[in-house]
Amino acid sequence: MIDESELNALVAQAQEAGAIYESYNQSGDQQILEQAVRLWLPVLKHPLLSSLPGPYRAAVYNDSGLVFYTHYQVGGHFDSLDLATTLFEQAEQLTRDTHRRRASVLNNLSAALQARAVRLNAIDDLERSITVSQESLNIIPADASERGSYLTNLTGGLYERYHRTGLVDDLNAAINASQTAIQFTTKEEMSYVPRSNNLAVLYHERYGRLGDLKDLYSSIESHRQVVEARKAASSEQSAYLNNLGGALNDLYRRTNDLKNLEEAIEVLRQATSLAPLAMPNRAGFLNNLGNALCMHYLHTRSLPSLQESIACQREAATSSMESPNYRASFLTGLGTSLSEYFQRTGETSSSNEAVEACEQALALTPTTSPKYASRLNNLARVLRDRYQRTGQGDDLSRGQSFYRQACQSGFRTQSEVVVVAGYNWGMWALQRSAWSEAVEAFECASQSANDLFQRQALRVDRAMWLQEAQKLPALAAYALAKISELTRAVVTLENGRVRLLSASLEIERQELERLKEDAHPQLYERFVSSVEQIGQLERQEIQDVNFADQEQLAATVERARIELADVIRVHL
């Protein structure tokens, strides 16, 4: 026979544990969270728990699961995550005849499965998380306020799967889910900031994949708004600062503006200092700071920046709290910094460690990952650096092979990586007088640079990629000339010039086409007349004319070009 007083005491203890957790939610005090964990453990082990009605037990499992899930998020306690997942699964089994309550439980289960998938690199957990999340969205009404929370979980699952499959469809679906989640969230709600942060992260990720600078600018603007909205020091704020720093770091890569890099370092230092030592994401913050410091060294040649970079990345790479996917990023960063240190000091052990780190990073990266091409390029680069200094073993053939694989893989996933890998590979080939190899490399880079140019929506962004592409045809033509393929060299150089001129004029044409619409018909007519005159004069250049005529023709062409430049200057 059940002891009613003992059963009532169990219920009271569960209610007390719930109240303590609510107090934690209000204060954020981790000691209060630890108290809630301690109170829930005996409730879950109590022999009379199974005597409680099904709906009440479901509530106990769900509420306690939230506590242990939070305990993992805050302190990285994997046992708590595993227990939370089990508790949500038990709650799900007890809510199969209900609807709104079941949707809530499914949403919590999806979040826990997703976290475990990331921690253990468990694809089965990830797929189940997405399925469970979609089921929860199918249960609740289309206009339900909690829909934003469920869409946020689905966003996370799709994003993690994208990291494993490299499918742009998953990334775009994650962005769509994130945008819809924000539509269900008012700016006054606590969840508005983290959901805005999620969208900013996704924009940044798509920039890395497709190279559209519009996505990078959108990401930075959103990250700044998020950081401004959460000025109080907290582990949450450290994550937001880290994301802003990473985006600024990439902006520096594109602009080479040291101010962007210095701001990124300042922001990333704040992120690292605010992150608790036990925070699962802290290793990622250290890695990002290390990457920024390494770039600072490359820009300024400040050895202390490089030494600090290595220290940060070594600590990140040795962290036991991160999944293989993230550890691969940390090893890549460490390998890059160690290789730079080897170039600076000649310390062979640093080069060997750099190669080993990049080899491990590549081994941890699935071939379907959008990061695979980048990891191939990094390994090729450190092998190149060691070969140039030591001539060691098979570094030459391996470096060539990995550069070639990076270009082939990057056409599918990372065009920007192909531009970098192709250029670096080509310059290395030129140093070795490997002319045919250089042609192959520069042609790969040129094709990807042109692809990236076509993807840009804004004039300033197209101009930036145009500048990136303009050096490549000349380098390829030089290598072709060295192997006596003079006709092909001329064609390559001229095709490159034509593409660049066409692209440049297309940028201006898109701006100047609006002259008629903006009530500037006379200015537009000047533009059209100047372009036509230049075309006529340049066609005359290929005709047989005497020396005096050539001088006069050149002067006339120059005047026409000045007229065209003046039209563009007046408009722009």
* Residue 523 pLDDT exceeds 80: no
| Residue with more model confidence, 299 or 213 | 299
Task: Please give the model's pTM, rounded to 2 decimal places.
Answer: 0.65
Q: What is the pLDDT of residues 460-508, one digit of tens each?
A: 555 555 566 677 888 888 898 888 888 888 778 777 665 555 555 454 5
pLDDT for position 558: 57
* Residue 547 pLDDT exceeds 50: no
Tokens of 143: 């206009």
* Residue 421 pLDDT exceeds 50: yes
In which region does residue 254 sit, left (phi positive, over 0), alpha (psi from -120 to 50) or beta (all else)? alpha
For 549-564, what is the mean pLDDT? 54
For 128, other C-beta atoms within 10 Å of its C-beta total 18
Q: What is the pLDDT of residues 219-231, one digit of tens each?
A: 999 999 999 887 7
Round the average pLDDT of the chain to a whole number and report it. Answer: 85
Helix intervals (H) in 94-167:
100-120, 123-139, 147-165
For 445-460, what is the mean pLDDT? 69
Q: What is the pLDDT of residues 348-361, one digit of tens each?
A: 999 999 999 999 99
DSSP type of residue 50? G
For 374, other C-beta atoms within 10 Å of its C-beta total 25
DSSP type of residue 51? G
Query: How does residue 427 score in pLDDT terms, banded at 50, 70 and 90?
Result: very high
Long-range contacts of 25-28 (CB under 8 A, 24+ apart): 28/234
pLDDT for position 498: 52
Contact predicate 489/501, CB 8 Å: no
Contacts of 293 (CB under 8 A, 6+ apart): 265, 305, 306, 308, 309, 312
pLDDT for position 546: 47
* Residue 232 pLDDT exceeds 60: yes
pLDDT for position 416: 84
Q: What is the pLDDT of residues 279-309, one digit of tens each?
A: 878 999 999 999 999 999 999 999 999 999 9
Return d(Cα 403, Cα 438) in angstroms, integer: 11
Return d(Cα 155, Cα 171) in angstroms, integer: 9
pLDDT for position 271: 94
Q: What is the pLDDT of residues 254-270, one digit of tens each?
A: 889 999 999 999 999 99
- For the ranges 185-194, 213-222, 315-324, 368-377, the lowest mean pLDDT is seen at 315-324
